[in-house]
């Protein structure tokens, strides 16, 4: 999967739509966004998410969003209500924060679910299997870092990747962008703090 980010914390314009077209034409297939935006009103967040989802459908792009139990509740969607989650028209979700394994398993039977690679454990994987999660719909995603000295160490990253692969999970990480950089690190939001040599 080759993806790129489009965030909902600002007004969406025709330039954003044209950006989606340009990235699709360059070979990208997935758009990443997040609904973990504390300072945005629920109505505005919902309308922007719907707008981007519609754009992605029109352009045959997959939209994946970071969600949590709290951020979904903010837009009046219970994480345990699979139908409501599906109504967001997302091609998948990246879970941020703890979610009961039985709910993750239930969600995985209806749409792809990305688990936090950094914190995923053997016990969690065992529990998901006990609740008959659709393993082929599970993957492991590393988050990007936002503060200095919080990015992943290269050696730890390599070791964790070996472990994830042993468990049959596909892995996704964020590579730094060079366009609109955001603070506080102004590094393009990569998962690794220092790129591999």
Q: Which CATH number belongs to the domain containing residue 159 in this structure? A: 3.20.20.70
In a domain, 179, yes or no: no
In a domain, 188, yes or no: no
Taking only the tens place, the pLDDT of each residue in 42-66 is 999 999 999 999 999 999 999 999 9
Domain that holds residue 143: 3-172
In a domain, 123, yes or no: yes
pLDDT attached to residue 140: 96
Does the pLDDT of residue 196 top 70, yes or no? no
> Average of pLDDT values for 130-150?
85
Tell me what percent of the residues of the chain surpass a pLDDT of 70.
86
In a domain, 180, yes or no: no
pTM listed for this prediction: 0.89
> Average of pLDDT values for 89-98?
95
Checking DSSP bridges between strand 92-95 and strand 138-141, what pairing results, if any? unpaired
Structurally, the chain folds into a number of domains equal to 1
In a domain, 196, yes or no: no
Q: How does the average pLDDT of the chain come out, rounded? A: 89
Taking only the tens place, the pLDDT of each residue in 104-136 is 999 999 999 999 999 999 999 999 999 999 999
Most confident option among 16-20, 174-178, 189-193: 16-20
Contacts 24+ apart (CB under 8 A), 7-16: 7/33, 7/34, 7/37, 8/33, 8/34, 8/35, 8/37, 8/40, 8/45, 8/48, 8/49, 8/52, 9/37, 9/39, 9/40, 12/48, 12/51, 12/52, 16/55
In a domain, 195, yes or no: no
């Amino acid at each position: 999967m080759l993806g790129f980010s489009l965030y909902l914390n600002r007004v969406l314009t025709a330039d954003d739509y044209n950006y989606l077209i340009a990235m699709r034409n360059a070979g990208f297939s997935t758009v990443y966004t997040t609904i973990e935006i504390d300072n945005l009103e629920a109505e505005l967040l919902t309308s922007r998410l719907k707008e981007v989802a519609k754009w992605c459908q029109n352009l045959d792009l997959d939209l994946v969003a970071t969600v949590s139990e709290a951020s979904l509740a903010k837009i009046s969607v219970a994480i345990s209500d699979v139908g409501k989650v599906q109504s967001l028209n997302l091609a998948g979700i990246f879970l941020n924060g703890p979610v009961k394994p039985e709910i993750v398993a239930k969600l995985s039977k209806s749409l792809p679910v990305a688990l936090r690679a950094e914190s995923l454990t053997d016990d969690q994987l065992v529990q998901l299997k006990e609740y008959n999660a659709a393993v082929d719909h599970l993957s492991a995603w590393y988050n990007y870092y936002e503060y200095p000295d919080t990015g992943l160490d290269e050696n730890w990253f390599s070791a964790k990747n070996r472990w994830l692969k042993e468990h049959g999970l596909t892995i996704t990480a964020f590579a730094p962008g060079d366009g609109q950089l955001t603070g506080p690190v102004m590094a393009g939001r990569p998962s690794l703090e220092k790129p591999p040599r």
